[in-house]
Structure 1
Amino acid sequence: MLSDPILEEGAQRSGPTGNVKVTRDDWLNLALETLISDGVEGVRILTLGQRLDVSRSSFYWYFKSRQDLLDQLLDYWRNKNTRFIVERAKRPAASITQSVLNVFECWVDESLFNPRLDFAIRAWSRQSAAVHRVVDEADNERIDGIRDMFRRHDYSEEDAFVRARVLYFMQIGYYSLEIVEPMSSRLSLVPAYLRSFTGQEPREGEMEAFADFVMQTTSGNGKAA
């Protein structure tokens, strides 16, 4: 199961034919897991039903069609992965370095940004022009949010836009190349990244607070620090 269920529902739901063995949340979570592991081709009603040990009729209690399920998976990705980046970029901060650290929280905590899901959607977008448009819109929304963050700290429009693209594309490239580093090594490089992205040094206490966030997050999800 994904760590953050899409909906909170009971273990069973009463329907016209009695209790249904699985919930809508079960279908969506399994579909998300399958999308990540097998690609969109693996998200099939019959296959999911077999894995859940239920009939196709259970699926149609919650969804109109396979396309309805796919649309909801896309909505989930868009609302989750994009929303938190934009929210962190909007968070009030006394310095641009703190603002960037707020966005960095998304790269540390997979409950805020799930890179495996992001690249599953991007792989899907290579097969669908409609999904590709949605991905482009999401990328632009994320970059716009980060650009506006730099603008609030008095960077020029052009400078803010370029810095936002560098910050965002660097992180997406980091995931794309599947770079694996100990968290301690990543943390040691954060001040240099901040200098590169902002041209400024982190203020006193900012790195300590971010390191505390990282330690709490990685210890909570079992990742090595």
Structure 2
Amino acid sequence: MTPKPVLHRNDPDAAPLIGNIKVTRDDWLNLGLDVLIRDGVERVKVLALAEAMGVSRSSFYWYFKSRQDLLDALLERWEQTNTVGLIAQAEAPAARVTGAVLNVFRCIANPGLFNTALDFAVRDWARRSVPVQARMREGDARRVTALTQMFARYGCPPPEAVTRAKVLYYMQLGYDMAEPEESHDYRLAMTPEYLKVFTGQAPTEAELAEFAAYSRQFWQDLSR
């Protein structure tokens, strides 16, 4: 009797997997991301991941050609989460520049738009890998360009737009790396002052209320 398929590959046209295959490609990727963030790229090893999930190492090769293939997929996930997420927020519509910057601030509030811990892990990886360093620098350049274009849409001339973009981007990276012990309420209270620094303008009460409501839902999720 033919064994019942347990799951299918990501390719819908591929033949179903047969036998006791317990994990999906996303399972391998998600655990790989966890290990990358927690322990660094050197600890992302096929056998260790398989043992952690309680599956045979051979099941890895249903989804990946090699460990390097997995590492490339982790970098792709990082780019699709962080770089694409930040650019999308920089391009989101807003009536005023303060609202546009608050759209970018959503990346800070929502780890689904920008995973700060993953960004730091990839930066650490980039210190040991020239190809990863090149992708990191390309990602930084794309993010700064998107922020520069955002400021330009609200009337900033080129030198001012790129300067504000770099101040916003690199300040936020350094701020998150410092991990200041601040409550969510404190950060919300300081948001108008940061916006004045980044844009030269004060936000409206409606803009602040909308951002506060958005950010609180993620703060509550993280606090549970």
Query: After TM superposition, is the score higher than 0.5?
Result: yes
Deviations 1:86-105 (CA, angstroms, capped at 9, x unpaired): 11111111100000000000
Distance 1:56 1:208 in 2: 50
Distance 1:149 1:119 in 2: 24
Task: Please list every run of 5 or more consecutive structure 2 residues that lacks an aligned counterpart in the other structure.
Answer: 9-15
1:191 maps to 192
2:110 maps to 109
SS at match of 2:88: helix
RMSD of the TM alignment (CA)? 1.5
Shift of 1:180: 2.4
Counterparts of residues 153-164 of structure 1 (less than 5 Å):
153-164=154-165
Counterparts of residues 185-224 of structure 1 (less than 5 Å):
185-219=186-220, 221-223=221-223
Structure 2 residue 140 is matched with structure 1 residue 139: yes
Shift of 1:22: 1.2
The code of the aligned residue for 1:88 comes to: Q
Distance 1:25 1:140 in 2: 28
Identify the range of structure 1 (160-169 vs 48-57) with the bigger mean alpha-carbon deviation: 48-57
Shift of 1:203: 2.3
TM-score, scaled to structure 2: 0.91
Distance 2:24 2:96 in 1: 45
Counterparts of residues 24-39 of structure 1 (less than 5 Å):
24-39=25-40
Contact 1:11 1:23 (8 Å CA) reproduced: no
SS at match of 1:36: helix
Shift of 1:222: 3.2
1:125 maps to 126
The code of the aligned residue for 2:79 comes to: R
Counterparts of residues 169-180 of structure 1 (less than 5 Å):
169-180=170-181
Distance 1:86 1:222 in 2: 24
Q: Which protein has the larger Cα radius of gyration, Structure 1 or Structure 2?
A: 2
Distance 2:6 2:41 in 1: 27
TM-score, scaled to structure 1: 0.91
The code of the aligned residue for 2:102 comes to: L
User: Judging changes above 3 Å, is the alpha-carbon distance between structure 1 residues 207 and 61 closer, same or farther for their aligned structure 2 residues?
Assistant: same
Contact 1:63 1:69 (8 Å CA) reproduced: yes
Distance 2:161 2:139 in 1: 18
Shift of 1:23: 1.1
Contact 2:6 2:20 (8 Å CA) reproduced: no
The code of the aligned residue for 2:173 comes to: I
Distance 1:125 1:150 in 2: 29
Contact 1:11 1:22 (8 Å CA) reproduced: no
Distance 2:81 2:148 in 1: 20
Distance 1:83 1:133 in 2: 17
Contact 2:6 2:19 (8 Å CA) reproduced: no
1:44 maps to 45
Distance 2:97 2:45 in 1: 45
Deviations 1:128-181 (CA, angstroms, capped at 9, x unpaired): 000000000111111111110000001000000000000000110012212221
2:67 maps to 66
SS at match of 2:20: strand
1:54 maps to 55
Number of residue-to-residue matches in the alignment: 213
Contact 1:12 1:19 (8 Å CA) reproduced: no
Query: Identity of counterpart residues, as a percentage?
Result: 47
Task: Please list every run of 5 or more consecutive structure 1 residues that lacks an aligned counterpart in the other structure.
Answer: 1-9
